[in-house]
A and B are shown apart, each in its own frame.
Chain A
Amino acid sequence: MDEKKISLAQVRHVAMLARLELSPAEEESLQSDLSAILRYVDKLNQLNTDEVEATAQVGEPGTLMREDQVTNRPAADEMLANAPARSGNYFKVPKIIE
């Protein structure tokens, strides 16, 4: 039951991609949680879906599209209202290391 479906190295890789800094204890805890999730997916995979078309979303079939019209007016102040930091009308973020 406690079989590990994901290695600690994989946990660290996913954490790096998600920009998460994890302590060793958190890494192990996530390894268990993610393993449990993957075991659940294994269970779902036991269902026979041969006759079911793969889909990634639920809703009406058909492609709903909009006309190419500009419907939004400039509202930089409103859009920046929740920004943690701004400089003029720019969002200000920590220095990006190139």
Chain B
Amino acid sequence: MTSSSYEAVIGLEVHTHLMTRSKLFCGCSASFGSGPNENVCPVCLGMPGVLPVLNQYAVELALRVALATHSEVQTRSVFARKSYFYPDLPKGYQISQYELPLCKGGYIEIANGGESRRIRLVRIHMEEDAGKNLHEANYSLVDFNRSGVPLVEIVSEPDIRSAAEAGAYLRELRAILRYVGASEGRMEEGDFRCDVNVSVRRKGSDELGTKTEIKNLNSFRFVEKAITYEIGRQIELLEAGGRVTQETRLWDPNREETRPMRSKEFAHDYRYFPEPDLPPLEIDGQMLERVRAAMPELPAERRRRFQRDLGLGAYETAILTEDRAIADYFEALLNGGVIGSKTAANWTMTEVLRIVNETGKPLEEAVPPAAETRILLKMVQDGVVSLNAAKNAFSVMCKSGQPAAAVVARLGLAQVSDEAAIAAACDEVIAAESAKVAEYRAGRDKLFGFFVGQVMKAMGGKANPKVVNEILRQRLQS
């Protein structure tokens, strides 16, 4: 038996922060980056006698995620207490949902090598985040700013078969979360976390092998690496006649391997029971319709539209639609029907994304408004500036915030297309290089480039090369 006679069975559990202003059950700020314990109150510190009150917007964001993933919203769901003791959990329990989650089923469509696959979902439920521990040598510190921040957990069926598919699923899910404005999906910042369940089985078998759960994955790259490692480890174990132990393993990014968690403290014995402080969550048709009406176009729909209506390829489409702001910018360049979709797509993928990546800023801060970029692209189209000059101008526009016309004028980037001026320069070159002209006319075609170079030099490099070519060809023929 070789490793190719096995297949992997993978399910993902994603936790993501919802972009609310306040926490799930109290009026504390849910923002990042505050000083320790600045955004805490008796409710999220679990002090006696306090009562949670549900944040309506958090529910609406969770419903957006549900609608975007074709998940079935339950008219009645129930919050439950998940009990465990850890210093980041002030109440001794986390308010979550268990038997009756907000949404059941659904799917996410992923593209893996041209083939489209549906990864089914088990459920989507709401819960609160815990605080954060900092471990010092002789004691630990606790910051409860994250305690009570709203999360949704999105659980997939074990439909994923490879590390690459897991990556595709996560990227698509993140795109959906961003499109609907539910979450920023920043994995490194911890507002998008992923736990992985992996098992392997002989190809063709319907039975599930023993699975392990991998935690501590804070980048897409780590998720894919950890899955690849874990699949290899399990196959090796089975091939050597061993058995996979059901356990939780941690990804060690330094050694690039998974290893079992030492602690038995995390034995899954959470003693869930319905939260007596919160009534069942009832979603009426009115609320659901309101959320549905406000849903934006989703990444999958947009991809289809870009390919069908704008004639873009799968590769360009994938890059342009991954982020809603990028896709919006690209479409704004097309407004007015002046700039073609290929030109706009190339410009967005190369220039706009380059600036966004270089500056690390959000799109709207990194680049000029699309209307201004459109003016610049029109100049290229009209031969006013060369493509290279436009790229330089764009960089300057991004830094200075000046309009396209002003930057082009200030840097003297405008091409000379004035035929009289170019013709005069051509005549001068022809007169000065009479020997070479004779050679050219005798058949040395290669000299044409030399004449173009001389004209461009004479005009400070600003002549429109197209016009120079035309005029030179005409003059040299006669």
A44 touches B (CB below 8 Å):
no
B45 — which chain A residues lie within 8 A by C-beta?
Answer: 79
CB distance from B73 to the nearest CB of A (A): 14
Answer yes or no: B115 CB below 8 A from chain A CBs.
no
Q: Is A17 interfacial (CB-CB < 8 Å)?
A: yes
One digit per residue, 1 when the CB lies within 8 angstroms of any chain A CB and 0 when it does not, for chain B 36-58 equals 11111110010000000111111
Q: A79-B37, A89-B38 are in contact. Are A70 and B21 (CB under 8 A)?
A: yes
Residue A56 at the chain B interface, CB threshold 8 Å: yes
Which of B28, B273, B274 has a CB less than 8 Å from the CB of A70?
B28
Closest residue of chain A to B57 (Cβ to Cβ) is A68
Residues of A within 8 A of B277 (CB): 57
Known A-B contacts A63-B279, A64-B279, A68-B55; the reply to A92 vs B139 at CB < 8 A is yes
By the criterion CB–CB under 8 Å, are B276 and A56 in contact?
Answer: yes
1/0 per residue, CB under 8 A from A, across B65-79: the answer is 000000000000010
**How far apart are the CA atoms of A17 and B271 in the complex, in Å?**
10
> Which of chain B's residues have a CB closer than 8 A to the CB of A56?
78, 273-276
B144-172 CB contacts (< 8 Å) to partner A: 144
Q: How far is the CB of B182 from chain A (nearest CB, A)?
A: 13
B29 at the interface (CB under 8 A from A): yes
Could you tell me which A residues sit within 8 Å of B by CB distance? 13, 17-19, 56-57, 59-72, 74-76, 79-80, 85, 87-98
Given contacts A57-B278, A68-B22, A90-B141, contact A76 B35 (CB under 8 A): yes
> Given A80-B37, A94-B139, A66–B55 Cβ distance below 8 Å?
yes
A63–B39 touching, CB < 8 Å: no
**Of the residues B53, B137, B141, contact of A91 by C-beta under 8 Å:** B141
B26 within 8 A of A: yes
Say yes or no: B87 contacts A96, CB within 8 Å: yes
Query: How big is chain B's contact interface, by range?
Result: 35 or more
A65 / chain B contacts, CB cutoff of 8 Å:
53-56, 59
Q: Which residues of A contact B28 (CB under 8 A)?
A: 70, 72
B77 CB to closest chain A CB (Å) equals 10
B135 in contact (CB, < 8 A): yes
Is B138 within 8 A of A95, CB to CB?
yes
Contacts of A87 in B (CB 8 A): 139, 141
- Tell me, yes or no, whether B269 is within 8 Å of chain A by CB: yes
16 additional contacts, CB 8 Å, given A62-B279, A74-B38?
A: A13-B269, A17-B83, A17-B271, A56-B78, A56-B276, A57-B275, A66-B55, A66-B56, A68-B57, A69-B21, A70-B22, A72-B28, A74-B34, A76-B37, A94-B140, A98-B135
Assembly CA distance A13 to B267 (angstroms): 11
Decide if B142 touches A91 in the complex (CB within 8 Å).
yes
Docked CA distance A18–B280 (Å):
27
B281 in the interface (beta carbon within 8 A): yes
Q: Please encode chain B, from 273 to 292, with 1 for each CB lying within 8 Å of some chain A CB and 0 for all others.
A: 11111111110000000000
With A69-B21, A89-B37 as contacts: A59 and B140 at CB distance below 8 Å = no
- Cβ of B97 to closest chain A Cβ, rounded Å: 13
State which residues 245-301 of B face A: CB under 8 Å.
262-263, 269, 271, 273-282
Known: A66-B27, A66-B56. A71 touches B22 (CB 8 A): yes
- Interface residue? B234 (CB, 8 A): no
Complex Cα spacing A85 to B136, Å: 14
Give every chain A residue within 8 A of B87 (Cβ-Cβ): 91, 93, 96
Pick from A18, A64, A75, A90: contact of B85, CB below 8 A.
Answer: A18
